Homo-oligomer: A and B are copies of this chain.
Amino acid sequence: MPRTTTYTVTVQFGDCDPAGIVFFPNFSRWMDAASLAFFMDCGVPPWRELVKTRGIVGTPMLEINTKFMKTLTYGETITITTHIEEWREKAFIQIHKVTRARDSGDDVICEGREVRVFVKRDPVDPDRLRAIPVPEDIRRMCS
């Protein structure tokens, strides 16, 4: 079984829209937080340190697919369960499952499937980010 971490969020008033439910881009924001928390829980330093020691700036997204099953409002607490489903040479698939605890069993609120890459700055044009092969040591720490 792959390494799996959990990340908890309590939904705030300002996270919700005039319909009274979570404005959906906030789920992407929380999944991004869960993604970084996953790496840090696995022992990977934060990007601001990796950029100094190894030039790694972060893990930008190539693609994200999110399915929404239930709505959510403020005051509720959710758990995001995160693991990496697949490692490719230059990308990885990270899965986030968002649930709400219920006495009668957990509600699944939504699920995200992200394709991400590790990037460094281009040595010639530092404004460009370049995907690098998945670092072997990071892969080992996170599998």
List A residues at the B interface (Cβ < 8 Å): 12-14, 16-21, 23-26, 28-29, 32-33, 36, 40, 46-48, 57-58, 60-68, 71, 73-75, 119, 127-129
Contact = CB atoms under 8 A, between A and B. Distances in A.
Given A28-B28, A73-B48, A14 B19 contact: no
Contacts of A129: 19, 21, 71
Copies in the complex: 4
Contacts of A58: 13, 17-19
Contact of A63 (B21, B67, B127): B67
A129 to B, nearest CB: 6
B14 A57 contact: no
